[in-house]
Amino acid sequence: MLQRIQLIIFSVLFLALFFLNSALIESQTFGIVLLCFYLGVFGWELGGVLVKSEKAILRWWIGIWVLLSVILIVLTGSYYVWQITQTLVLTLIFLTPPLILWVTKRFPSRSLFAHAHDLWHTRRHRIPGIVWVVMTALVFTFTLFFLTLLNHPVTEGIRSVWERLPGSLFVLFLLATSLVFALLWRGKERALSLVGISLLLFATLSVVAFVFPLGFGFDSFIHKATEMHLAEFGTISPKPFYYIGQYALVLFAHHGFNISIDLADTFLVPFLASLLLPMAWYFAAVHITRKRSISMLTLTGIFLLPLSQFIVTTPQALANLWTLLLILASVPYLLDQEHPRLRILALGAGATALIHPIAGIPALLYFMFLTTDPSRTNPRTPKTNRIVRMILGVFACIVLPLSFVMNSLVSNQALSLNWESLNPLRWLTAFNFNVFFENRFSPLLDLVYLYGLNTLLILVLIAGFAWMEYRKDLSKRFRALLLMVLALTVNYLIMSTFLEFTFLIDYERGNYAGRLLPLIHFFLTPLLILGLGHLFVNTKSHPIVLRASVLAILITFAGSSFYLSYPRRDAYETNRGFNVSQSDIDAVYLVESLAAGAPYLALANQSVSAGAIGEIGFRYYGDLFFYPIPTGGPLYEFFLAMNASPTRATALKALELAPEHGDINTLFFLVNNYWWDAPRIIETAKATADDWRSLGDGEIYLFRYNFGVDQTP
């Protein structure tokens, strides 16, 4: 009864403060605090109902994940049948407390307030002094780490964030990693250890969010512009069939808690990954290893995952995170335990499908494999069960290539089939085994890439060892995971060899196939946890020298993962892309000013185009965007042609792409000084353009081509 009263008091107080902030204060900072309480308290109470048998923090992440999934599904459904409005979001938030109160009354569980009371008063939770020293050192180290990031903002165009950040950042990261891993090795103060690993993961994933105040990447600018449009109008036309799941969560934070679109979008995936992934991993590890101290130590395996997926908020990144959480949530079901039930997993799979199809389709297939497991289906129809399973398996192996073929037919995108690639001999000759053991005679860099080039191999070896060691127990229980690994591998081979995405520029055509590799990592995660658990059980009984060596290797892996999670420019790799700079944004505004309200087309690289989307939004002439995106589009071909030879004839032909050609008489050609052969392009364009300017101390050149009624090229 006391727990019930405490929850009611909190709900009333939350709603009062929420109404005050929404109606009067409109504070972003206060909104962030309210959002944290919203997720923390109501997520806990919901998790206690959904996985009542779990203890303490093991139920927390399930509640938050399900709560966000429900919000995502409701708002996405509203978008497709109507709009996403502020009124709808506010109504959803006001309904949450009474619904949680009703659910917890019908299905009683231990309240967060009761658990907090126990933590405060129970003797067994008292913490040794040395742990407080470690936590103090951690707080100090993380404070210096994030201050270093904030003190080194990047507003010029660069290829790699490591070109601007000081080496001391790596020292701070490795120190923080050592302290966190020491806590994990101790394996006792689990709540504090989870806080430590979450902060370490956030430090790993949030570098670009802090360092690039103008934004990072290309896709994020498009998604932010779409979210801003949705925030203003509630819908967008034509309505896309995917991505809305991410937009729904960003708009929920914006409309409900006064958090800006830019801030909500920038930190959505890094924050949720840092918050939910450690708890979900520990949740799965407890069920797999059945030893809490070993489960804590397996958290070091997070750094064997492709964490670069989560450094920037995109629908693919969010869907990948939801897929990984779905896999970890399914572990108790795979091990024949009661919670969470299939309907919870169905909710997570459905939410994933609403975020992005490349991760959503595998998530739905995985759920289908769970529901059609021969050991759980009707024993009276064994032949039918096998036939259904076989059909589903074959379909899973071709579903993603098939979906791309169907999408190309509907959208008229160019997609060709390379029949010669089906020759297995070509696969063998194209495979370079030396790539796993390259050497650039730079000891630190060679060590980092020795890990980086072999991450998937290390994961497969650990997972394969776990399978061989426990195959008698796991042959049936983990069947769905292995089927998904096989299906995704076949899909990857087909998409990387047989399908040619000719609507993309040459160096981007492998992107879609490459998105399947992280998913293969994720479906091997339960076996990775099992293998690491077995390794650590045996290691802990060996001499301290061996234990220290293992810990040093784990710290090295984490440091390497930190470096490899971001675009690089070193002896091994040179990133092609440049971030959006202040000069790019200034050039966008200068073009807009020179046009003086008249329609125009602009030929520029992806960075400038991203800046135009972020600052101006969407402007189309028919189906033609006024900057050259996508890179596989015809306007981008003219941008490349102008780089090869900037002539007035080429500029005029580019203008002819616009259906209202008679009304568009001006074309702007922008050249960044880092572009290949920029000096020649700039000098040639000066002789052919009607006008030219330079910005940012020569960082970008702007050329104007006018074609009035009395002018000829």
410 or 456: whose pLDDT is higher?
456
For residues 248 and 234, the answer to whether their CB atoms sit within 8 Å is no
533 and 587 together in one domain:
no
In this structure, the strands spanning 666-672 and 601-603 are parallel
Is 616 a residue whose pLDDT tops 50?
Answer: yes
In whole angstroms, give the CA distance from residue 603 to residue 599: 14
Residue 305 DSSP code = S
Residues 683-691: what's their mean pLDDT? 93
Residues 294-320: what's their mean pLDDT? 94
In a domain, 90, yes or no: yes
**Confidence (pLDDT) at 412:** 62
Enumerate residues 6+ apart whose C-beta is below 8 A from 647. 688
Residue 127 DSSP code = -
73 and 143 together in one domain:
no
**Is it true that the peptide bond before 270 is cis, omega within 30 degrees of 0?**
no
Residues 378-395: what's their mean pLDDT? 78
Is 709 a residue whose pLDDT tops 80?
Answer: no
Is 627 a residue whose pLDDT tops 80?
Answer: yes
For residues 60 and 197, the answer to whether their CB atoms sit within 8 Å is no
113 and 140 together in one domain:
no
428 and 353 together in one domain:
yes
In this structure, the strands spanning 700-706 and 691-695 are antiparallel
389 and 519 together in one domain:
yes
- Total domains present in the chain: 3
Percent of the chain with pLDDT over 90: 54
For residues 300 and 181, the answer to whether their CB atoms sit within 8 Å is yes
For residue 591, the tally of other CB atoms under 10 A from its CB is 23
112 and 136 together in one domain:
no
The residue segments making up the domain with residue 96 are 2-117
Answer with the one of 538, 564, 590 that is the final residue of a domain.
564
Is 457 a residue whose pLDDT tops 90?
Answer: no
In a domain, 326, yes or no: yes
DSSP calls for 217-266: SSHHHHHHHHHHHHHHHS--SSPPSSSHHHHHHHHHHHHHH---HHHHHH
Is 433 a residue whose pLDDT tops 80?
Answer: no
In a domain, 244, yes or no: no
673 or 623: whose pLDDT is higher?
673
In a domain, 636, yes or no: yes
Hey, what are 329's tokens? 């949530």
Residue 118's pLDDT band (boundaries 50, 70, 90)?
low
- Each residue's pLDDT tens digit, 60-95: 899 999 999 999 999 999 999 999 999 999 999 999
**First-to-final CA distance of the chain:** 84
533 and 665 together in one domain:
no
DSSP calls for 627-655: S--STTSHHHHHHHHHHH---HHHHHHHH
In a domain, 199, yes or no: yes
Beta-bridge partner residues of 499: 417
> What's the mean per-residue pLDDT of the chain?
86
**Confidence (pLDDT) at 436:** 57
**Confidence (pLDDT) at 93:** 95
Residue type, 354: L
**Confidence (pLDDT) at 419:** 55
**Confidence (pLDDT) at 37:** 94
C-alpha triplet 682, 688, 694: angle, nearest 5°? 40
Phi-psi region of 291 (alpha: psi -120 to 50; beta: other; left: phi over 0): beta
698 and 619 together in one domain:
yes
* Cα–Cα separations (whole angstroms), residue 704 to 65, 554, 602, 666: 51, 55, 9, 7
Residue type, 397: C
In a domain, 35, yes or no: yes
**Is it true that the peptide bond before 628 is cis, omega within 30 degrees of 0?**
no
In whole angstroms, give the CA distance from residue 526 to residue 401: 27
Residue 507's pLDDT band (boundaries 50, 70, 90)?
very low
For residues 526 and 450, the answer to whether their CB atoms sit within 8 Å is no
Residue 414's pLDDT band (boundaries 50, 70, 90)?
low
For residues 424 and 539, the answer to whether their CB atoms sit within 8 Å is no
Answer with the one of 59, 94, 117 that is the final residue of a domain.
117
Answer with the one of 64, 91, 117 that is the final residue of a domain.
117
Is 358 a residue whose pLDDT tops 70?
Answer: yes
Q: Alpha carbon 182 to chain centroid distance?
A: 28
85 and 135 together in one domain:
no
In a domain, 231, yes or no: no
Specify the 3-state DSSP secondary structure of 703: strand
In a domain, 161, yes or no: yes
Residue type, 24: L
Taking only Cα atoms into account, the Rg of the chain, rounded to an integer number of angstroms, comes to 27
553 and 418 together in one domain:
yes
Residue 528's pLDDT band (boundaries 50, 70, 90)?
very high
Residue 711's pLDDT band (boundaries 50, 70, 90)?
very low
- Each residue's pLDDT tens digit, 641-674: 999 999 999 999 999 888 765 578 899 999 999 8
Instruction: Find the range with the poorest average confidence among 31-40, 279-288, 343-352, 380-389.
Output: 380-389
217-237 CB burial, b ≥16 within 10 A, e <16: bbebbbbbbbbbbbbeebebe
178 and 31 together in one domain:
no
Hey, what are 317's tokens? 């990144």
539 and 652 together in one domain:
no
Instruction: Find the range with the poorest average confidence among 1-5, 191-195, 489-493, 501-505.
Output: 501-505
Enumerate residues 6+ apart whose C-beta is below 8 A from 703. 646, 668, 669, 670, 671, 685, 686, 688, 689, 691, 692
Prediction pTM value: 0.92
Three-class SS string for 172-184?
A: HHHHHHHHHHHHH
Beta-bridge partner residues of 417: 499
- Each residue's pLDDT tens digit, 17-57: 999 999 999 899 999 999 999 999 999 889 888 887 777 67
